Amino acid sequence: MASLGRHIIVEYYNCSSEILNDVVHIEKSMEGAAEDAGATIINSTFHHFSPYGVSGVVVIQESHLAIHTWPEYGYASVDIFTCGDTVNPWVAYQILKEKFEAGHGSAVELLRGEKALLKERDFDIKAMRDEKSSEEGSPIRTRDVWFTERDDKIALSLKHDGKLYDVQSDFQKVEVYKTQAYGNLLTLDGMVMTSEKDEYVYHEMITHIPTLTHPKPKRALVIGGGDGGTARELLRHDCYDEVVMVEIDDKVIEACKEHLPGIASAFGNPKLNLIVDDGIKYVKDAADGSFDIVIVDSTDPVGPAEGLFTVEFYKEVYRILSDDGIMITQSESPRFNSKVFKEIYQVYRSIFGQDQVHCYLAYIPTYPTGMWSFSYSSKGKAHPLKDFNAEESKAFAKKHGLKYYNEGIHQAAFALPSFVAEMIS
């Protein structure tokens, strides 16, 4: 051949948007194309970006294949670069066109390293290569695939071994990834909801603080919480006669039963009344004073959870609380979503009263910035610290082997950093 390498610059148009947003499918397609073209794979690294887009590279002994996708346009850009004459890059081109279900593709081939312009050096590269290969042995193939939750200013990436669940429900994209650091991970529309390794922080803090400061809770309502963790923690308490859980998306429940069974372990509890319906509608139809504790275990204020962040909804929650009732919500990250954080505390105080609303914090590694807030809004006399029994809390945490909540954490959670206190003052 007249050159050292062949470089094909490829564009695929009118591809399947679903495929271009599926990092595992793209990884397998790129690796398959490389192997069918005659290449030897050394390493592959792929990243999925939230809400959409995939970047990746397959390193081969003969050079590399690289890709970036724009699912929103049905477009993929690919580089196929091979050295020598043992790999046919056009085989890879055709395979990827079929795998991405492209309407059409275009490609330009460049010959890299024109031999007519090069002068070969006088050393035995073959002997050197063979000697080095005998020292190192055959190349070890490695694989890196990453899920990335990203917005304009911040991102979280988690290495994973593939998807365990991938369903587009009537409401959102429900996925479960098998991550290497945090176990199985639930995402909704590309946003991290919970993982096996750190879920206990969120679920213990959203449940035990209200239960251990209410005079005598007997009936609790959970809005959302389809993973089952909030219900699981509430049902550790013998005081409850019934826990009602209203989740709008049955696919979330299905995914967690199958792939996060430790979190979803309470779904068979006879005290749990599981209702698949719209939580906003359920609250509106509920009787006055019918619940001692209401926990709004929602996602961020987008998609199906958007209606859970309105004045009208919280007024309805206030109505269905008993006289000593407590409302708990996840109230976003003070640093990451400061606008929503400040606004919802103003709403809570306008409904429950200025001195009846309290903020507390927990630290969750897979949530944006790590710092996450919860609100404690009391309809009656219940207070998160004045009515707190440290000995009871200590005994409860020890009995159930809790991993995050204890009597010290309960009190410390309400000690706010100055910047957080100022935001809601």
One domain, residues 181 and 217: no
CATH of the domain at 295: 3.40.50.150
Residue 412 tokens read as: 């410390």
One domain, residues 350 and 419: yes
d(CA 40, CA 43): 10
Q: What's the distance, CA 263 to chain centroid?
A: 15
First and final CA of the chain: distance in angstroms? 74
Confirm or deny that 278 is annotated as ligand binding. yes
One domain, residues 160 and 291: no
Distances (CA, A) of 156 to 24, 151, 207: 18, 9, 27
- In-domain check, residue 138: no
CATH of the domain at 158: 2.30.140.10
One domain, residues 178 and 235: no
- Which pLDDT score, from 0 to 100, does residue 3 have? 77
Confirm or deny that 298 is annotated as ligand binding. yes
One domain, residues 224 and 90: no
One domain, residues 254 and 391: yes
47, 56 Cβ separation under 8 angstroms: yes
83 part of the active site: yes
Secondary structure (3-state) at 198? coil
One domain, residues 260 and 302: yes
Confirm or deny that 368 is annotated as ligand binding. no
Interval 340-398: pLDDT, tens: 899 999 999 999 999 999 999 999 999 988 999 999 999 999 999 998 999 999 999 99
Domain count, the chain: 3
What is the residue range of 215's domain? 199-424
Q: Which of 3, 16, 17, 68 is catalytic?
A: 68
- Which pLDDT score, from 0 to 100, does residue 302 have? 47
297 part of the active site: yes
Confirm or deny that 297 is annotated as ligand binding. yes
Confirm or deny that 227 is annotated as ligand binding. yes
pTM: 0.79
- Which pLDDT score, from 0 to 100, does residue 160 have? 93
One domain, residues 186 and 221: no
Q: Which of 7, 50, 83, 259 is catalytic?
A: 83
Confirm or deny that 103 is annotated as ligand binding. no
Helices 89-99, 23-36: axis angle to 10 degrees equals 150
Secondary structure (3-state) at 293? strand
- Which pLDDT score, from 0 to 100, does residue 301 have? 53
Helix H segments across 100-144? 125-136
Q: Angle at the Cα of 319 (from 202 to 274), degrees rounded to 5? A: 50
- In-domain check, residue 278: yes
Element (H, E) at 150: strand 142-150
68 part of the active site: yes
Strand partners, 114: 3
Counting as low any pLDDT under 70, the low residues of the chain are 1, 123-141, 300-309
- Which pLDDT score, from 0 to 100, does residue 124 have? 62
CATH of the domain at 101: 3.60.90.10
**Residue 246 Rama label (left phi>0; alpha psi -120 to 50; beta):** beta
- Which pLDDT score, from 0 to 100, does residue 151 have? 79
Cis peptide before 210 (omega within 30 of 0): no
347, 296 Cβ separation under 8 angstroms: no
Helices 311-320, 338-352: axis angle to 10 degrees equals 40
The residue whose two tokens read 């009871």 is: 392
- In-domain check, residue 131: no
- Which pLDDT score, from 0 to 100, does residue 127 have? 58
Structural domain ending residue among the three candidates 58, 90, 114: 114
Structural domain ending residue among the three candidates 195, 227, 261: 195
Element (H, E) at 363: strand 357-363
Element (H, E) at 36: helix 23-36
- In-domain check, residue 134: no
Secondary structure (3-state) at 196? coil
- In-domain check, residue 127: no
Interval 52-69: pLDDT, tens: 899 999 999 889 999 999
23, 46 Cβ separation under 8 angstroms: yes
Classify each residue of 279-317 as buried b or exposed e, where b means 16 or more C-beta atoms within 10 Å of its C-beta.
bbebbeebeeebbbbbbbbbbbbeebbeebbeeebbebb
One domain, residues 252 and 344: yes
Q: Which amino acid type is present at position 381?
A: K
- In-domain check, residue 401: yes
- Which pLDDT score, from 0 to 100, does residue 155 have? 86
- In-domain check, residue 313: yes
Confirm or deny that 304 is annotated as ligand binding. yes
One domain, residues 387 and 285: yes
Structural domain ending residue among the three candidates 163, 195, 227: 195
- Which pLDDT score, from 0 to 100, does residue 129 have? 53
Confirm or deny that 172 is annotated as ligand binding. yes
Greatest Cα pair distance, the chain, in angstroms, is 91
One domain, residues 247 and 154: no
- Count the residues in the chain: 425
One domain, residues 295 and 228: yes
Q: Which of 256, 297, 322, 333 is catalytic?
A: 297
Cis peptide before 384 (omega within 30 of 0): no
259, 164 Cβ separation under 8 angstroms: yes
- In-domain check, residue 302: yes
d(CA 116, CA 196): 59
- Which pLDDT score, from 0 to 100, does residue 384 have? 97
Secondary structure (3-state) at 112? strand
